Structure 1
């Protein structure tokens, strides 16, 4: 039996980048045998419909559909994709990315080989302008890849194939698959934790490559600090969102302790090993400390987001 697949993007006021992303969709190879790409969906999270004109240029893509989600947030927009897709699987990537021609084929091949509920691929980050050396030293924009043939330990929908039927029923009493509590950051990571908790696999497809272009305003000191704080913040908040009763108190305490250890260890590495480790040692220490600080903030219900929407 053939499985149907949608390709989906969520966008917000980035029409030129969206055009580049959709052009890469136009260049996609067919998915693996046994999968049929039937639908292409763009959800515009801008009530002013800033993506509408660009989307009209790509109406020839398979089953193209342009939708508007007035409710702010990535979670709400991704949930709309799941509501309207009508397919067995959805391939997600972001509107500031490009995917390789083999992207969809590689994701579906890996899903066929593993039966995983989700498959993620690598994202290569490229800078629009060369950043300061300390930015690259923090590895803030470094790609994550598990060992060959290993499962991924995370779900990130900036490059993922998700089994829609599983996600749609994995609500746990929530209104939808992607939790609105994580409306702008971490909704995918939290869904991944729920998938793994319930015994579903998240596989990794090394050949399903995507490229994200990082603009200069995301390499400033303030932006890097917020992103690293956010990473730790999502870690603890997502974990706590799955807990109930006394277990939640214990997990909260664990994140505070582990976060504090990261802060202390990072400061030690960054300050006391600076003469020997140089910039790399200092940047690595700062990264660890900031992630730990974000983890502690999340443990006491303080939300840190890297998304600041323009009015």
Structure 2
């Protein structure tokens, strides 16, 4: 399988270097690796140069996309990729040697247009007990070969047919460039167009959780953004057409669920902080859904709400 491996990066030189070290050890090597730097200063340039000097069994292409926008950066990686298939991995993840081979084998065996795999978080030993007990960074997993539901589609570990991405000049919507959610939007649209995207539970990558994310504040904002992503995808049709009645139901359901989750957070606090935080995150996610109706957006990649 002819695979271009794409990485959008922003000011993570050490983690990018570790990832590039993983990629040269893959049991199935990509045809090429494309690194696009969203830092106008080019902070990843030296990392790519060093990897080239150490040696790599594939070409590593490097470019800068200077406008702060994750969608434009991902779009630039696609524009530079030449492979029949395109894989994406985040710049802060680690890839075991069998990762890319397992993705490609599943794509072939299942006659799929895309394959997603799990991202396993690595929580540091110094994390608070309530964070380690809460499993807040984990995502639901499926049986290998299962078709992925629309609300479970996400990036970080994905292989897609290149033709699907090249069918439009800007596969990732720039309107999601500061908020995030561009991945679910794209995958949802591809599924609506008939793409078959399946799961490979063996194609695991690992994501060390940064110290900056070991806080209730970060978790609440990430849950808020997740709720906003879901609502935006529903309202824009990425998950199917939405009627006026459907919009009302979405808002009222989010309102009810946010109130219930807040109450359960209060009641469960004596049973452990991690249990209370679980429900607080549910409340935050539903507040995020409602906030979209009011025109508010949390810019995760801009650090603000508008």
Are 1:292 and 2:275 counterparts?
Answer: no
Look up the match of 2:10: 12
1:224-245 deviations in Å (ceiling 9; x for gaps): 11111111110001221227xx
Report the CA distance between 1:248 and its aligned residue: 5.3
CA contact (8 A) 1:11 1:44 kept: yes
1:234 corresponds, among 211, 229, 238, to: 229
1:55-94 alignment runs, 5 A limit: 55-59=48-52, 60-94=56-90
Instruction: State how far apart, in whole Å, the 1-side matches of 2:302 and 2:57 are.
Output: 31
Q: For structure 2, which runs of at least 5 residues remain unmatched after alignment?
A: none
Are 1:124 and 2:135 counterparts?
Answer: no
Look up the match of 1:43: 36
1:86-125 deviations in Å (ceiling 9; x for gaps): 2111111111111110011000001001222221111110
Q: For structure 1, which runs of at least 5 residues remain unmatched after alignment?
A: 32-36
Query: In terms of mean alpha carbon deviation, does 125-134 or 285-294 score higher?
Result: 125-134
Question: The residue matched to 2:2 in structure 1 has which SS?
Answer: strand
Look up the match of 1:149: 145
2:103 corresponds, among 107, 111, 126, to: 107
Look up the match of 1:217: 212
Are 1:283 and 2:277 counterparts?
Answer: yes
CA contact (8 A) 2:117 2:201 kept: yes
TM-aligned CA distance change 1:67 to 1:251, over 3 Å: farther
1:261-281 deviations in Å (ceiling 9; x for gaps): 220221222123444x43343
Instruction: State how far apart, in whole Å, the 2-side matches of 1:190 and 1:50 are.
Output: 29
| Alignment RMSD (CA, Å) | 2.1
Alignment: residue pair count: 296
CA contact (8 A) 1:4 1:87 kept: yes
Look up the match of 1:207: 202
Report the CA distance between 1:147 and its aligned residue: 3.5
TM-aligned CA distance change 1:250 to 1:302, over 3 Å: farther
Report the CA distance between 1:222 and its aligned residue: 1.6
Question: The residue matched to 1:58 in structure 2 has which SS?
Answer: helix
CA contact (8 A) 1:122 1:210 kept: yes
2:176 corresponds, among 182, 207, 213, to: 182
Are 1:54 and 2:50 counterparts?
Answer: no
TM-score, with structure 2 as normaliser = 0.89
TM-score, with structure 1 as normaliser = 0.88
Instruction: State how far apart, in whole Å, the 2-side matches of 1:232 and 1:10 are.
Output: 24
2:25 corresponds, among 13, 24, 27, to: 27
Instruction: State how far apart, in whole Å, the 2-side matches of 1:272 and 1:127 are.
Output: 27
Report the CA distance between 1:151 and its aligned residue: 2.0
CA contact (8 A) 1:91 1:161 kept: yes
